Amino acid sequence: MKVPALLSFLLPFLTALLLICSFPSVDLWPLAWAALVPLTLYALGEERSWRLFLLSFVAGYLFFLVGLWWTGYVVPVAPFLLAIYHALLVVLCAFTVRSGWRWGLSPMITLPLGWVSCEFFRAYLFTGFPWFYLGHTQHDVLPLIQICDITGVYGMSFLVAMINGLLAHLLLALRGGDPAEIKRSRIVRVGLPAGVIALVAVLGYGFIRLGTIELTKGPSLLIVQGNIPQEVKKRSHDNEDIFEQQVRVTESGLVGLDRPDLIVWAETMFPIPAIRDVQGESWRNTKRLSALAQKFSGALLVGVTVVEPPREMLAGGSASAEELWKASAKSNSALLVSREGEIVDRYDKIHLVPFGEYIPLRKTLPFIDDFLKSYSELPELPDLRAGTRHTVFNLGRWPFGVQVCYESAFPEIVRELRRQGARFIINISNDGWFKESAELDQMLAIVRFRAVESRVGVVRATNTGISAFIAPTGELSDVLVDTQGRTKSIEGTLRGNVLISESATFYVAYGDLFALLVLALFLITVGYPFLQRMKGIPSRKRPE
């Protein structure tokens, strides 16, 4: 049965639509198990390479353009540029599937190898952007995602892509029409049982883990969500109002209740830069933080910009505030203030956002500055310094680590913190940049995988939403919601105990071993046909 040409051309666009609907905030996660089938069918049947390139690129471009539209709130051209790079990886995956098919490999094998390898590339190329992983669509299916404590999120992506490849191959087999031939086909005899066994095995593992992981109550935390619009945060003359609002919301969450072990303010919610005098090892502009911790009788974790001026400028004392700011090293940081008012320790954000917190190749390509000044909504071009230390803060019996905003997309940071003894993780974030967009839902879904991979409770403390407590199983223990059921652009506090697990995981010990294995197999899959063609050896028959 031949598929009409027009319908065939629409298949890649159907994949784009299904993927858009699979991810938050639409979140129709069952669609993900068939979302790649249309594109796969098109790739297997398209003989002309230029047309496969064009349609798979356009489909990938549309998916990522819609999915990453929220990046345009910061840099208007960002979604258009990011979508190009991501779409090229969709093209690579489509050609991998077609090439493997011509050499006798089922898409049940080549699709997960290609898709997961492209996800791995995205985690590291151009400093990394690990967003829209296929496995992220399953964040609400707790029995399935428990496998991530072995494989990381890549294992979940592999399983979903494998089932997509299986379905595509089955559809091609069923199209043959002869029942006897269908039953004898390898995809029915071998592929279908293998897919069912893999799915059942992952589900079985998940149910066992959910039934055996022991969770205990950790320290009590108060998350403060001030809901400061980004337009207000940009204006320095509103700093006093921002501070007073944070204090007011904090006080409202403490009325009539026992003092929590830790009060958490989100990223950069202390609006005044904290100046670190390296020479004298002292702090400036932090007296109000110390006073607050003493007033609240509780430790305070607060997001703040830390400024470290050159020693000679501090010693001279004649530099203006503007000169001091421009000459100083600046970090996006978190400070822990004890209940006695002492600054105990700090964490400087390690994985900075390209173009949002620093400009790549700024010195090599100076024209980038002029371009961004024309097309960016940022009040000034960012020039932050990346941290180098995975700080483990001490909160009595409960050592913990911090991730700032976008860092929660990178599992290696949580792994290292866990290896150094952190028993839970706090993710502080200011998502006010992105208003009420899908970015807030997507970030929460991603953070849930960090909890499962390293078996740590995760606390997400945000400025505008979505603030939540996440159990080491990935379950949402509690979410800040207002009386109308809204989770975004609301102010309030969320109080709870972090859930602690003592379970060690394969993923913490060995990291992305699974992904590296998949990448190696992918390179073999791509390289073998290439070498064979160079030797003049024709492709084999297509798989049954």
Q: Which tokens is 371 given?
A: 């371009």
Length in residues, the chain: 544
Q: Where are the alpha helices (DSSP H) in 27-77?
A: 37-45, 49-67
Which residue in 233, 330, 349, 488 is the catalytic one? 349
Distance CA 496, CA 485 (A): 19
How many other C-beta atoms can be found within 10 angstroms of the C-beta atom of residue 200? 10
Distance CA 433, CA 268 (A): 12
Please indicate whether residue 349 is annotated as part of the active site.
yes
Q: Give the residue from 460, 470, 455, 453 showing the smallest Cα distance to 423.
A: 455
Distance CA 397, CA 94 (A): 51
Residue type, 278: V
Backbone angles phi, psi at 225, to 5 degrees: -110, 100
Backbone angles phi, psi at 479, to 5 degrees: -135, 140
Strands 274-277 and 262-265, how do they pair? unpaired
Q: Which residues of 383-396 are buried (b: 16+ CB within 10 A; e: fewer)?
A: ebbebeebbbbebe
Which residue in 148, 405, 407, 488 is the catalytic one? 405
431 contacts 439 by C-beta, under 8 angstroms: yes
252 contacts 233 by C-beta, under 8 angstroms: no
How many other C-beta atoms can be found within 10 angstroms of the C-beta atom of residue 323? 12
Please indicate whether residue 2 is annotated as part of the active site.
no
Which residue in 267, 439, 491, 544 is the catalytic one? 267
How far are the Cα atoms of 66, 277, 444, 483 from residue 20, in angstroms, in the given order?
7, 49, 17, 30
142 contacts 470 by C-beta, under 8 angstroms: no
How many other C-beta atoms can be found within 10 angstroms of the C-beta atom of residue 336? 22
Backbone angles phi, psi at 478, to 5 degrees: -160, 145
454 contacts 505 by C-beta, under 8 angstroms: yes
The helix or strand, by DSSP H or E, that contains position 402, with its residue range, turns out to be strand 400-404
Tell me the catalytic residues: 267, 349, 405
